C-alpha cells in the first residue's frame, strides 16, 4: 500500500487545500480505515467560512470532516474482536476516555476528556485513510449504502434528543428549524411514531422540503407568527414536544409558549447568544421539562438497526453528491448555497 494519502487540509478561513499526507499507522487498539463516504456537516462549513466555531479556532492546519464510513484495511494487534478486514464501519467521532464517572455511567458524551474528530486541532475524516480506536467504529450491514451510513452521525443527534425527552408514539411534536438537523429530526420523529409533526422555518423552499418529507404542518415564521399559528392548529394547547434546532435565541425562547402543559423541550441548536430572556413562569406553570442536547451517546447501534430493517429512511435528505477530489469546491459551493442544500455527501471511490 502507498505510504502517502490525499487529505483536505483547512489552513484558515476559506483556505482548504488538497494535500499529500503520510498514511496513518494502525496502533494496537486501532483499525485503519479507507474512507468510503463522508457527509458534510454544518460545522465543517462554519469552520471553512469563519475559521472558528465556539471555543474551537483553526490556528494551525487540520483536516475537517466527521460523518464518515470507512472500509477496514488493517486491524491492530490488540483491537477487540468482531470485525474483519473488508468490513464497512461507521465512525462515531467523539472518542471518550472510558474511565471517568460520566463514561462509566454511560453518558460518555459528557466526558471532559472527549477527543472529537475534526474539532481543531484534531484531524477528521476528509482524507483517504484514518486510523482510529476500534471502540469508535460500528459495523455497517450490507443492506445500508455507504452514503446513508455517513448520515448516522447527524441522525444520532436527533435520536438522542428524542430519547432524552422520552418521546412516545402517538404524540405531537414541533420542530423549530428546517435545516439539515431539523429535517433529519423530522424523519426520526416519523420513525418514532409521532402522529403529528409541525415544522417551523422562514424559508419557503425548506418548508416545502419538510412537507415532501412528511411534515403534517409547515409554519412560515417570516412574519414572526409561529406561536399563534401553532396554537391555532392545536386548539390552544401546543404540542407535547418541541425540538429547537435553530441556533437562534429568539426561536429558542419561543419553545415554552409552543409546548403543551406537562410537555418537554429539547434544545439542540446552540443559540447565538449565551444568555437571553426566557419565560420561566410558563415553565413552572406548565411543568415543562427542558433538556440540553450535547451531541449523543449510545445511539449509533439503534440507528444502524433502524436503517437496516427499513424503519428509518434517510435517503431523501441527500440533496447533492460529489467526489472527494472536488472537496475544495464543495466547501465553497456549500457555504454560498446553504439554503438550497440539505445534506451533501462526498464519495471517495
Q: Which residues bind Zn ion (CB under 5 A)?
A: 41, 96-97, 100, 103, 111
- Cα separation, 52 vs 13, whole angstroms: 8
- Cα separation, 26 vs 4, whole angstroms: 14
Q: Which is nearer to Zn ion, 103 or 251 (CB)?
A: 103
Q: Which is nearer to Zn ion, 96 or 238 (CB)?
A: 96
On whether the CB atoms of residues 203 and 184 are closer than 8 A, the answer is no
Q: Which is nearer to Zn ion, 87 or 123 (CB)?
A: 123
State the nearest-atom distance from the C-beta of 136 to Zn ion, in Å: 13
- Give the cell for residue 268: 439542540
Q: Which is nearer to Zn ion, 233 or 312 (CB)?
A: 312
- Cα separation, 126 vs 7, whole angstroms: 6
Name every residue whose Cβ is closer than 8 Å to that of residue 120 and which is 6 or more positions away in sequence. 10, 47, 56, 57, 58, 59, 60, 62
State the nearest-atom distance from the C-beta of 54 to Zn ion, in Å: 13
Q: Which is nearer to Zn ion, 95 or 173 (CB)?
A: 95
- Cα separation, 263 vs 256, whole angstroms: 9
Distances (CA, A) of 176 to 193, 235, 263: 19, 19, 15
State the nearest-atom distance from the C-beta of 111 to Zn ion, in Å: 3
State the nearest-atom distance from the C-beta of 41 to Zn ion, in Å: 3
State the nearest-atom distance from the C-beta of 169 to Zn ion, in Å: 27
- Give the cell for residue 192: 418514532
Amino acid at each position: 500500500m502507498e505510504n502517502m494519502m490525499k487529505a483536505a487540509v483547512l489552513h484558515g478561513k476559506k483556505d482548504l487545500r488538497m494535500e499529500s499526507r503520510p498514511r496513518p499507522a494502525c496502533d494496537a487498539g486501532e483499525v485503519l480505515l479507507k474512507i468510503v463516504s463522508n457527509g458534510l456537516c454544518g460545522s465543517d462549513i462554519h469552520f471553512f467560512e469563519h475559521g472558528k466555531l465556539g471555543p474551537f479556532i483553526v490556528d494551525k492546519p487540520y483536516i475537517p470532516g466527521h460523518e464518515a464510513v470507512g472500509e477496514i484495511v488493517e486491524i491492530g494487534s490488540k483491537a477487540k474482536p468482531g470485525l474483519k478486514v473488508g468490513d464497512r464501519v461507521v465512525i462515531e467521532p467523539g472518542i471518550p476516555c472510558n474511565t471517568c464517572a460520566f463514561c462509566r455511567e454511560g453518558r460518555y458524551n459528557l466526558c471532559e476528556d472527549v477527543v472529537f474528530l475534526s474539532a481543531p486541532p484534531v484531524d477528521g475524516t476528509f482524507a483517504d485513510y484514518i486510523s482510529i480506536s476500534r471502540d469508535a467504529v460500528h459495523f455497517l450491514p450490507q443492506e445500508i449504502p455507504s452514503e446513508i451510513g455517513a448520515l448516522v452521525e447527524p441522525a444520532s443527534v436527533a435520536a438522542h434528543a428524542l430519547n432524552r425527552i422520552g418521546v412516545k408514539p402517538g404524540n405531537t411534536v414541533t420542530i423549530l428549524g428546517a435545516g439539515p438537523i431539523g429535517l433529519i429530526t423530522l424523519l426520526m420523529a416519523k420513525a418514532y411514531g409521532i402522529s403529528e409533526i409541525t415544522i417551523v422555518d422562514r424559508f419557503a423552499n425548506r418548508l416545502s422540503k419538510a412537507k415532501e418529507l412528511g411534515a403534517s404542518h409547515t409554519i412560515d415564521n417570516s412574519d414572526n407568527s409561529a406561536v399563534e399559528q401553532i396554537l391555532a392548529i392545536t386548539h390552544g394547547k401546543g404540542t407535547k414536544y418541541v425540538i429547537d434546532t435553530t441556533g437562534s435565541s429568539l426561536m429558542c425562547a419561543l419553545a415554552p409558549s409552543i409546548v403543551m402543559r406537562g410537555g418537554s423541550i429539547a434544545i439542540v441548536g446552540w443559540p447565538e447568544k449565551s444568555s437571553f430572556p426566557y419565560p420561566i413562569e410558563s415553565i413552572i406553570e406548565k411543568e415543562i421539562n427542558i433538556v440540553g442536547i450535547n451531541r449523543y451517546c449510545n445511539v449509533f447501534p439503534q440507528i444502524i438497526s433502524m436503517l437496516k430493517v427499513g424503519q428509518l429512511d434517510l435517503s431523501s435528505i441527500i440533496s447533492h453528491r460529489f467526489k472527494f477530489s472536488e472537496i475544495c469546491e464543495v466547501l465553497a459551493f456549500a457555504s454560498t448555497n446553504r439554503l438550497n442544500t440539505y445534506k451533501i455527501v462526498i464519495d471517495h471511490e
